[in-house]
C-alpha cells in the first residue's frame, strides 16, 4: 500500500479513487476533522463512526485505502494530463456553488472555461434541424467570446463543439468516464481539435467506464460550469433533463428551443418551457437572456445562389419533400425535382431521411 499523501491535492486524488467515497462524504470528513484530510485519512474506525452519514462500507473503504494514488499520478503525467483541485489557480470557481463539487478534475487541453461559458446540449438522436441550430448557436456565441460546454456525445453535443471550433472558438467537453477513454470512438478527431485551444474535463479516475451513475454526476458539472444552459431537442427522459434540473437548482439561466409537437425529441424541451424555462427561437433571444447586447439576428438560411434558393424555399419551416411532392410545390416536372433533390443532398444542403424523403 502506498504511503498516505501529505499534500491536499494528492489526498483529494486518493479519496476520489476510493469506492463508496464521494464529494459529500469528503465534505462531512472535512467538517468533522477541522478541514484536516490527513487526520480523516488516519482516523480509526471508531472515530469515523462518529461522522454522521458514513456507512460501514464507506468506513471500510476509508480504512483500506485501496487506491494507488502514486501510480495514478505517474500515469497522469505519462499520458500528458493534468490534475487540479480547489486550491489550483485554474480551478473553475463556479463549481464551488455545488453542494458536492468534485474533489479533483483531470484535464486534457490548454485552457479551462471561465465565467463566460454556456452549455449547449440535447439528444443523441437529433434531427438535421437540431444539428443545424446547435452548430449555428455555438458558432455565433463562440464568435462573441463565449466558451461552449457540452458532453462530446453524438448528435447535439458534437454539433455544438464543431460549431465553436469552426470559428476558432473555445469549447470544453465534460466526460462521464475516465479522461483516458474516448467515447464514442468516432470522437477521437473531435477530441484532438477540442484540446488544441479548449479542454476535456473529467472527475473520474483513469480507466473508469461510463455507467448509469457517472452521467448524472457529469451533468451536474456541466450545469455548474456555465452561466446558461441551452437545450435543443430532448425527450422528457433524456439526460439533458437531468442537466436542466441541476441548472434550475443552481439558479442558472435555462433556455429551451421548441420543436415539432409530433417529435419525441421535442417533448423534453416543451416540458421545460411549460415548467418555466425561457423559450428561445433565435440567437437574439439567447443574447438577451445571457446579457449580451441585443442584435437583430434571425436564424438564417445560408447565402446561396438563386437556383438553390428556388428549391430550398420549399423546405422552410421543417417541410419535408420527396420528388413528387416537391414537383407539386415547385410546379415543375418530376424529373427536375428528383434531380434537384440529388444535387442538394450531395452539396449537403438537404439530408435524406430514413423514409427516403428530404429535409433541411
At 305 the pLDDT is 61
Q: Which fold has domain 306-359?
A: Arc Repressor Mutant, subunit A (1.10.10)
- pLDDT over 70 at 99, yes or no: yes
Give the three-class secondary structure for 20: coil
For 279, phi then psi, to 5°, come to -75, 130
Q: Rounded to a whole number, what is the distance in angstroms from the first to the last CA of the chain?
A: 59
Check if the beta carbon of residue 199 is closer than 8 Å to that of residue 110.
Answer: yes
- pLDDT over 60 at 303, yes or no: no
Q: 1-72 in CATH: which number?
A: 1.10.150
- pLDDT over 80 at 209, yes or no: yes
* pLDDT tens digit sequence for 308-356: 788 888 988 778 999 889 888 989 888 888 888 888 887 778 888 878 8
Count the neighbouring beta carbons within 10 Å of the beta carbon of residue 253: 18
Task: Mean pLDDT check: name the lowest of 73-87, 238-252, 324-338.
Answer: 324-338
- pLDDT over 60 at 298, yes or no: no
Cell of 29: 470528513
At 300 the pLDDT is 46
Beta pairing, strands 199-202 & 171-174: parallel
If pLDDT is split at 50, 70 and 90, which confidence band does 306 have?
low
For 309, phi then psi, to 5°, come to -60, -35
User: Which CATH number does the domain 108-290 belong to among 3.40.50.450, 3.40.190.10, 3.20.20.370, 2.40.37.10?
Assistant: 3.40.50.450
Q: Which DSSP helix (H) or strand (E) runs through 121?
A: strand 117-122
Q: What percent of the chain has pLDDT over 70?
A: 96
Check if the beta carbon of residue 220 is closer than 8 Å to that of residue 96.
Answer: no
User: In whole angstroms, how far apart are CA 244 and each of 22, 23, 266?
Assistant: 22, 21, 15
Give just the sign of the alpha carbon dihedral 225, 229, 232, 236: positive
Count the neighbouring beta carbons within 10 Å of the beta carbon of residue 129: 21
Q: Is the peptide bond prior to 7 cis by the omega test (within 30 degrees of 0)?
A: no
Domain boundaries, given as residue ranges, for the chain:
1-72, 108-290, 306-359
Distance CA 168, CA 143 (A): 8
Check if the beta carbon of residue 204 is closer than 8 Å to that of residue 179.
Answer: yes
At 294 the pLDDT is 52
Q: What is the mean pLDDT of residues 96-101?
A: 94
Question: How does the average pLDDT of the chain come out, rounded?
Answer: 92
Give the three-class secondary structure for 328: helix
At 350 the pLDDT is 86
Q: 155 in the Ramachandran plot: left (φ > 0), alpha (ψ -120 to 50) or beta?
A: left
- pLDDT over 80 at 33, yes or no: yes
Amino acid at each position: 500500500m502506498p504511503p498516505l499523501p501529505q499534500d491536499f491535492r494528492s489526498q483529494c486524488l486518493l479519496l476520489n479513487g476510493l469506492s463508496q467515497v464521494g464529494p459529500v462524504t469528503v465534505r462531512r470528513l472535512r467538517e468533522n476533522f477541522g478541514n484536516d484530510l490527513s487526520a480523516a485519512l488516519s482516523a480509526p474506525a471508531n472515530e469515523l463512526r462518529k461522522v454522521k452519514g458514513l456507512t460501514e462500507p464507506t468506513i471500510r473503504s476509508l480504512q483500506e485505502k485501496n487506491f494507488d494514488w502514486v501510480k495514478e499520478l505517474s500515469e497522469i503525467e505519462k499520458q500528458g494530463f493534468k490534475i487540479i483541485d480547489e486550491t489550483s489557480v485554474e480551478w473553475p470557481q463556479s463549481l464551488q456553488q455545488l453542494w458536492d463539487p468534485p474533489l479533483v478534475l483531470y484535464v486534457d487541453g490548454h485552457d479551462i472555461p471561465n465565467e463566460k461559458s454556456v452549455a449547449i446540449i440535447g439528444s443523441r438522436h437529433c434531427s438535421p434541424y437540431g444539428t443545424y441550430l446547435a452548430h449555428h448557436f455555438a458558432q455565433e456565441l463562440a464568435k462573441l467570446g463565449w466558451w461552449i460546454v457540452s458532453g462530446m456525445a453524438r448528435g447535439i453535443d458534437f454539433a455544438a463543439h464543431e460549431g465553436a471550433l469552426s470559428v476558432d472558438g473555445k469549447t470544453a467537453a465534460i466526460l462521464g468516464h475516465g479522461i483516458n477513454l474516448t467515447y464514442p470512438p468516432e470522437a477521437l478527431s473531435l477530441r484532438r481539435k477540442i484540446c488544441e485551444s479548449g479542454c476535456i474535463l473529467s472527475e473520474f479516475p483513469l480507466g473508469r467506464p461510463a455507467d448509469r451513475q457517472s452521467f448524472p454526476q457529469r451533468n451536474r458539472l456541466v450545469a455548474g460550469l456555465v452561466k446558461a444552459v441551452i437545450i435543443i431537442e430532448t425527450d422528457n427522459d433524456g439526460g439533458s433533463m437531468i442537466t436542466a434540473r441541476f441548472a434550475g437548482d443552481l439558479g442558472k439561466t435555462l433556455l429551451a428551443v421548441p420543436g415539432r409537437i409530433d417529435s419525441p425529441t421535442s417533448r423534453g424541451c416543451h416540458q421545460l418551457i411549460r415548467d418555466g424555462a425561457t423559450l428561445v427561437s433565435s440567437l437574439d433571444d439567447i443574447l438577451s437572456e445571457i446579457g449580451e447586447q441585443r442584435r437583430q439576428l434571425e436564424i438564417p438560411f445560408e447565402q446561396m445562389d438563386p437556383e438553390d434558393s428556388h428549391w430550398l424555399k420549399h423546405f422552410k419551416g421543417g417541410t419535408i419533400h420527396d420528388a413528387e411532392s416537391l414537383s407539386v410545390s415547385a410546379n415543375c416536372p418530376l424529373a427536375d425535382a428528383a434531380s434537384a433533390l440529388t444535387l442538394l443532398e450531395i452539396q449537403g444542403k438537404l439530408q435524406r431521411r430514413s423514409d427516403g424523403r428530404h429535409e433541411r
